[in-house]
A and B are shown apart, each in its own frame.
Chain A
Amino acid sequence: MKPPFRIRIGTKLAFFLFFAGIFPMAVFGFLYIRNEQEVTQNEIFNALVLLAESKEVRILEYFDDITARTVDFSSDGYIRDETKRLLNEGLDESKNALSKHLLVNKKPIDERLTGISILNKEGVVIASTDEKEIGKDESNDIYFKEGQTGSVLVRTDPWDVHFNVISPFVVAVPITDKDTHEFLAVIVNVFDPHKLEEILSANFITNENASLEAIVGNDMKTLHTYIVDHEKNVILHPIKKEIDPSHDIGVTTLPVRECLENGKEILGEYIDHSGATVLGSSMCIMEESMVLVVDIEKDVALLPARQAQTKFFGIISVLALLIAALSYFISRILTRPIKALEKSVEIVRAGNLQHRGFVVKTGDEIEELGHAFNAMTASLEERQKVLEEEKKKLAVLLENLPVGVFMMKAPEGTLVATNPKSLELLGQEKGFLQKPHAYADLQNLIHPMKEDGDPYPENELPITIALREGVLAERSDVVITRPNGEKVTLRVVGVPVKDASGTVIYGIAVFDDVTKEHEIDRAKTEFVSLASHQLRTPLSTINWYTEMLLAEDVGKITPDQRSYLDEIYRGNQRMVGLVNALLNVSRIETGTFATEIKAINLVDEVDAVLKESEPMIKEKKMTIIKECAADIPILHVDQKMVRIVFQNLISNALKYTPPEGRITVRVRREGDDHVYIEVSDTGYGIPKHQYGKIFTKLFRADNIVYKDTEGTGLGLYLVKLVVDQLNGKIWFFSEENKGTSFFITLPIS
């Protein structure tokens, strides 16, 4: 019964609560982290730019400073003079004095200085703070070439060593004659590059450095500040980076290219010469064709942000777990009563209607649902009880019904229920109808026939009519042959069972053995037929012989003889009337009255009866009033029956009214569908205490039983029988010694 796939309501609720809790947090977190990263990056960039700018300023200051220092030395009077002398005279004394002056008086002025040399026009060192330098030919060095015409600052090649300093900064300035301004020599100041490197390195604290530290944390290992010259060599760097400064490594990173090729300073993210992704800022130092680069490894710089991110994710995860647990518990709390109810439903569904679910007092709709469920189960139990009782009653009824019952399912007519009597009637063993039979099979098994032995047409069988047309049908001439060969006539009634929409859902066939009834019917008819013959034959004999005697067919008769013969004849006529009445009563009572439907004009019947009665009317000098309306409809009934009604009512009126009385016959239409007949007299009337017996068989009222001896007590009984047969109504109004009125209404159709 369970669907192949389902999600429990608890699961759904838990998921819903979980996602409702986690979703906004996730969105907020994502946006926050993204924003945080961007902000951090921007802050880093800002700090980098500031750092780069401040370093640039300091480098330029340094360059200006050492250049100014050298220029200052070149204009030193002593140096100028002694140099001129040395050049002119070439004396060792001058050379020593100058070198000494340089060493003793000049070098200590500036601690950055590692050495001072003076080169002659040919580029040869003529004086120096270090004796070993004297005599070196530096004519090929760029600072000598350029230093002849103006001050120049260069970083010597990485392999150059001056004054035991590898690749120092060298500032060269020309020394000119004080008076003639003639070019004499070149003074070369050699500066230890490490002093500049100190500036570039983080050894000194700047505000910018501090702010960068605040962002990226204490790990400043990857913060690099270095300078690349126009030949793309790193000329200065803060050592921390593992780039060997004694090698030409040809830095061609983005900031270097941008500056040297396009003169642009950049701020952004790029790959540095070691292959690391860095965030960096560059400054172009145009005069010296150098690039100052400040960068920091991106991963390191953003590490604190990442860490914050990770921490954040951690918090989110913990929160998610908490929410999940909370959701689970909430859903459990909410769904527990539903689960309990579900269990109860399962129990009830399995058939235990006595079970009542435990209702959790949640005070909400679920508790209401629980109560409603219990109420429903109680009502179901009650109904089931009623149904069981009904079923039992029906089963007992069906079991003991003295008629056969087949219940068939519409529309195919499959047999669904039978009773023992049905098997008995069909002469079949138990079990014959136990398996469900289709309608066609059933017909083949039972073979219903007409009385003449022809197969019974299927569409005329009552059960077929009930099943297919949904109307009740009855046939009394269904003949079946039992397995022992016995033929039985069945009366079969087919009844449809319909649902609320009027569709036939079942057909019930009720059948009974009417073989005996049919035989009795035949016997009855036979009896009436025979009786009428046997009773009438002697009466006819008396009739006709008396008639012939009276007609004097066999000779004259005397008046006395005639009067006697008249008595015999009349007496015999009464006997014939009595026999006829009795036969009619018997026919109607036994249902063997052979009706013959004809179009009957009631007025003609009244006239005919009045004509028959004319001798008596004349004899008793009766007044007859006939009031027949013009619009009396033609009735389609049996003429004999209409005659019986008028004959008896009119002959009663004549018999029981004293001479010279009045008889009224009225016939008219009553409403749309009835005719009204009235026969009134001014006769003896009916005693009040005998009103109730007036229509009973052989009854004769007290007041006339002595006055008239010819009455049979059958007339009004017969009239009542006929009126009932015609679905009409009869009643009367009477007053003793004043008269009686009989009223009849008959349906037109």
Chain B
Amino acid sequence: MSETNKKIVLVVEDERPLLEAIKIKLESIGFDVVTATSPTQGINMLRDIPHIDAVWLDHYLSVSESGLDFLTEVKKSDIWKNIPVFAVTNTASADHKYSYLELGVTKYYVKADMRLEDIAKDIKEFLEQPTQ
């Protein structure tokens, strides 16, 4: 019962150690976590696993692909476009930040400046809001 009540977060992050840490942290505060290391994989996850409640999205995912590609796909879809996306990246350039905000991310974080716990708590708080 408790398993089904847990919210599911899709973490898209290519850096495995970070992905692992994020997974541990999110699970420790009560999320179910699914992971992907590329935009394609992320989209597949969205397709395969219904009811994903939120997405943790990194920017640099490989040499040729970025979180923007994934986000563009998500926002195109009527089913997925309302899923809150939290962009967590180390690329603090304003261009990137605007691109994400324009495409409709919920929040935008610079990894190195943030404690993992703070981001996790932000996501949790956001999802527990009554409107959600």
Contacts and interface: CB of A to CB of B under 8 A. Distances in A.
Contact of A537 (B18, B28, B93, B115): B18
A547 B117 contact: yes
A536 B93 contact: no
A590 to B, nearest CB: 12
B111 A540 contact: yes
Interface stretch (A201-209, A211-219, A525-533): A525-533
A230 to B, nearest CB: 147
B35 interface: no
A533 B66 CA distance: 12
A530 B90 CA distance: 9
B80 to A, nearest CB: 26
Contacts of B24: 548, 553-554
Contacts, number: 68
A541 B110 CA distance: 13
A537 B90 contact: yes
Contacts of A553: 24-25, 28
A528 B21 CA distance: 26
A734 to B, nearest CB: 32
A592 B92 CA distance: 12
B21 A541 contact: yes
A539 B18 CA distance: 10
B67 to A, nearest CB: 11
B94 interface: yes
A529 B96 contact: yes
Nearest to B21: A544
Given A533-B60, A544-B18, A576-B113, A594 B25 contact: no
A357 B117 CA distance: 99
A548 B15 contact: no
Nearest to B16: A541
Contacts of B94: 594-596
Interface string A571-605: 00000100110010000000010111000000000
B116 interface: yes
B106 interface: no
B91 interface: yes
A553 B20 CA distance: 13
Interface in B70-101: 89-96
Contacts of A315: none
Interface residues of B, number: 25
B59 A543 contact: no
Most chain A CB neighbours (cut-off 10 Å) among B59, B94, B110: B94
B93 A548 contact: no
A540 B112 contact: yes
Contacts of B25: 544, 548, 553
Contacts of A541: 15, 17-18, 21
A551 interface: yes
B117 to A, nearest CB: 6
Contacts of A537: 15, 18, 90, 111
Contacts of A554: 24
Classify the interface of chain B: helix, strand, loop or mixed: helix
A540 B18 contact: yes
B112 A545 contact: no
B93 A594 contact: yes
A532 B94 CA distance: 13
Nearest to B119: A544
Nearest to B94: A594
A530 B112 CA distance: 14
Contacts of A528: 93
A551 B25 CA distance: 10
A548 to B, nearest CB: 6
B60 A547 contact: no
Interface in A690-739: none
Given A533-B60, A545-B17, A545-B21, A576 B93 contact: no
B69 to A, nearest CB: 16
Contacts of A548: 21, 24-25, 116
Contacts of B96: 529
A325 B24 CA distance: 129
A175 B102 CA distance: 174
A579 B17 contact: no
A592 B96 CA distance: 13
A532 B90 contact: yes
A565 to B, nearest CB: 14
A21 B28 CA distance: 131
A529 B90 CA distance: 9
Interface in A490-547: 525, 528-530, 532-533, 536-537, 539-541, 543-545, 547
Given A533-B59, A541-B15, A541-B18, A547 B115 contact: yes
Contacts of B17: 541, 545
Contact of A533 (B21, B28, B90, B113): B90
Contacts of B110: 536
Contacts of B117: 547, 551
A650 B116 CA distance: 27
B23 to A, nearest CB: 11
Contacts of B15: 537, 541
18 contacts: A528-B93, A529-B96, A533-B59, A533-B60, A533-B91, A536-B110, A536-B111, A537-B15, A537-B18, A537-B111, A540-B112, A543-B115, A548-B25, A548-B116, A553-B25, A580-B112, A594-B93, A594-B94
Given A530-B60, A579-B112, 10 more contacts: A529-B96, A532-B90, A533-B59, A540-B90, A541-B17, A543-B116, A544-B116, A547-B115, A551-B117, A580-B112
Closest 7 CB pairs of A and B: A594-B94, A536-B90, A544-B116, A536-B112, A540-B111, A544-B21, A533-B90
